[in-house]
Structure 1
Amino acid sequence: MVKNITHALDDRIEEMDRTYQKVLGNLAANFACATLKVKSRYFHRIGAAGRGTLRLYENIPRFPDHHIFSSGKCYPVIIRHSNCLSSDDDARLDPRGAAIRILTDEAESNTSLLDLTLKTGKAFHARTIGDFATWLVCGAAAQEEMVKHAPHVREAMWDSLRKADSYAELHYYSNICRLFRFKDGNEMYVKFKLRPFDEMINEDSGKVEPTGILPPETGAMPRDENDTRPLLFLNDDFKRRVNSPQNLRYVLQLQLRSVPTDEYEREAALDCTKPWDEKEFPYIEVGEITIDQVLTNEESASLEFNPFLRCHEVDVIRATSCSQSASLDHGRSVVYSICQHLRNNKPLPEAWKNFLDHSDVKVDLTGCPMAKVIEKKDTQRVTLARPWYHNLWMITEAGFVGSRAVAMPGVIVQKEGSLSALTLAMKEEIVN
């Protein structure tokens, strides 16, 4: 096959195998449709944001010399707190988020050095992008059946849920690793954590005790009938704390782990459904964040966090298969980029447009500026119901995947506007 080199390619997509591209393409197309419909974020739609500084400590014990996270350095930062699903009432139980943008230390620069997306809860409920996509198309009965065989997934979901009185009184975790390269040439896996400045606020702040197998749909969960607080009281509390004489302060922590030489051990280390042992890999406090300026609602809504921002010293761990642990972080960066462009009415690069075109989900881009740039090819002449290469794919690969999908209770095999189970149910451990 010969590549069309007349337009720029996205190496994140090019290095994926065929199944990974198919699964991620369907996922991206579904989120793209939702984004075009609501013209806003799908998750973490509302929140509060502020600007301040990250000041690294002069002496950081047990932390190797690093070019960016170097002793005494100071960086401008932006923090955006948010609710995961609740878009109109802060009193609903919900996972809470903290997205951190670290800007370069150059004067008057607004260039992002690193974007981090953290949330409440020490783990995520899906190990891979394939697991995440499968979870989305499964009904509640199938999800409950899955967690019976993976109790740590159930624990991750309940642990992420928080009853919040203040965004500033919660602990936030990255769940996902980055690759740090130190000045001595050593490489280590790193996870991030943001904790309240007040050490008396422990990790269980706002924790919700399980009342069933899985949490209910939090986006529609009503508040307690005796709760009389304003709908957006977390936003109000954030602004009050930022504008106070003490401002709003946090402590940034890192968790380090040597890169395993064995592939199986690397997969286990990158598994975001299982937290690292804090006794074996303790958190290291590297600096303090002070937020002293509130961003407007418009400024907060327009923020675009890019989890794929990387440099030599802080790199993203890549994946080639949707069954690899690193695929969740690698794959979501593509979905983030596409949805952010659509949300802000920016033209899609042709590589992303073609990526969506090859999915099983029809994305109507007639309201997108890109539709005026790319013309559709004439497809009136048809010789087969499916192109020959689709038939070949069905014979060689989908038969196996489809047989696995039948074994999954509650999976939608084919439904318009849904992810196809034929491309999602490829993971043996999910079936088992």
Structure 2
Amino acid sequence: MGSQCPVMVKNSIHALDDRIEEMDPRYKKIVGNLAANLAATTLKVKSRYFHRIGVSRKGYLKSYDEIRGLPEHNVFGPGKKYTVIVRHSNSLSADDDARIDARGAALRILSSEKGDTSPLLDFTLKTGKAFYARTVSDFATWLVCGLAAREEHIKRASHVRDAVWTSICQADSYADLHYYSNICRLFRFKDGQEMYVKFKLRPSDENIGEDFGKVEPSGILPPETGAIPRDANDTRPLLFLAEDFQNRVNSPNGLQVRPIPQDEAARDIALDCTKPWDETEFPYTDVGEVIINENLTKEGSERLEFNPFLRCHKVDVIRATSSSHSASIDHGRSLVYKICQHLRNGDPLPEAWRVFLEQSDVKVDLSGCPMAASL
């Protein structure tokens, strides 16, 4: 019965988001629920969910004149120079820098074309060589389950415990820490080669090792709040890390690349951000130095919107169609970030994103969204 040639019709009144269109139904449901949960919190507190407050500075990235061990690359090539913005922050501690917490370094690279100040690439890095969630499904589950469930989980995945504890650290200065992208991207070289790549930002002082600020585990996992309170005898100011960063100047930037496996299962293992790559097999190569020479105002820092989906053909984001793929966490979080940024700034929410939120299991009051009245 019915038409012998059924036709699928899409609503063309509003622009679609290809990130959503590429997801299978389960992937859409997980990311939709995650976005709705974080959107509700964003509307309530009118601030970022993670890395809530930060300090930013502006400067430039200068590639070294000679880069050994890597094929020639259009973006990270010898002698290249770009304007950059670096934002440092604590993961969960928004009011006391002395708390033991994971630290972040978001790096924005602006176009090198004269007169063009548009962002070219955004990288989000953090302390610790690995992340506690392999997929966006793992990430969503980790956020909503309690400490007891997390501790039960790491009994079956001890490397996840290592990822959590090695991410949190004591800090005297943001500039004395090593930051890692954890999640990799796709590098396309001039000769046509394609490789997976991870990024690292390290202190300019080579005597400061990767274990600087290391915290010895004091339990199965840190407290449920994530950040461990400061020592009772610590008398440093609440936001001393922000003050210190405004006086620091440079950090070398490095890349870790590996060939793309031919087998799909092997590729998914390579993309697993809960396990660092073996540095003896895939060593880091220093490609340039970040020189910081200009402070941004607190208001300017708050307005920054880092987007992990910002990419170019030569440094691309790896896409995913299923929530079980290792690449799903980067693909999925890029959408969540942008939805929350729009709501935090009071910007109109695109229709495709509004529908995406409404189809989730979490109800979000969008009456404060500028788009709601016209709808």
Q: Which TM-score bucket, shorter chain as reference? A: over 0.9
Aligned to 1:111: 118
Alignment of structure 1 residues 113-262 onto 2, 5 Å: 113-218=120-225, 221-241=228-248, 248-262=249-263
Is the 1:86–1:94 Cα contact (8 Å) retained in structure 2? yes
Aligned to 2:64: 57
Is the 1:84–1:96 Cα contact (8 Å) retained in structure 2? yes
Is the 1:123–1:273 Cα contact (8 Å) retained in structure 2? yes
Q: Are residues 1:43 and 2:50 paired?
A: yes
Is the 1:52–1:76 Cα contact (8 Å) retained in structure 2? yes
Is the 2:90–2:97 Cα contact (8 Å) retained in structure 1? yes
Aligned to 1:389: none
Is the 2:195–2:257 Cα contact (8 Å) retained in structure 1? yes
Equivalent in 4, 16, 28 of residue 9 of structure 1: 16
Is the 2:101–2:228 Cα contact (8 Å) retained in structure 1? no
Structure 1 residue 219: Cα displacement: 5.4
Aligned to 2:277: 276
2: CA distance between counterparts of 1:184 and 1:302? Answer: 38
Structure 1 residue 46: Cα displacement: 1.0
Deviation per CA, 1:59-111: give whole Å up to 9, x if none. 10011111111110100000000000000000101000000000011234321
Is the 2:54–2:301 Cα contact (8 Å) retained in structure 1? yes
How many residues are aligned here?
368
Aligned to 2:357: 356
1: CA distance between counterparts of 2:144 and 2:125? Answer: 24
Structure 1 residue 215: Cα displacement: 1.0
Is the 2:186–2:197 Cα contact (8 Å) retained in structure 1? yes
Instruction: Answer with 1 or 2: which has the greater Rg.
Output: 1
Aligned to 1:365: 366
Is the 1:93–1:218 Cα contact (8 Å) retained in structure 2? no
1: CA distance between counterparts of 2:106 and 2:269? Answer: 25
2: CA distance between counterparts of 1:211 and 1:20? Answer: 35
Deviation per CA, 1:380-409: give whole Å up to 9, x if none. xxxxxxxxxxxxxxxxxxxxxxxxxxxxxx
Deviation per CA, 1:132-170: give whole Å up to 9, x if none. 111112121111011011000000000000111000000
RMSD value over aligned CA atoms?
0.9
Deviation per CA, 1:23-58: give whole Å up to 9, x if none. 000000000001001101010011110000000001
Query: What is the TM-score with the length of structure 2 in the denominator?
Result: 0.97
Query: What is the TM-score with the length of structure 1 in the denominator?
Result: 0.84
- The DSSP-based 3-state class of the residue aligned with 1:196 is coil
- The DSSP-based 3-state class of the residue aligned with 2:57 is strand
Query: Which AA in structure 2 matches 1:71?
Result: P
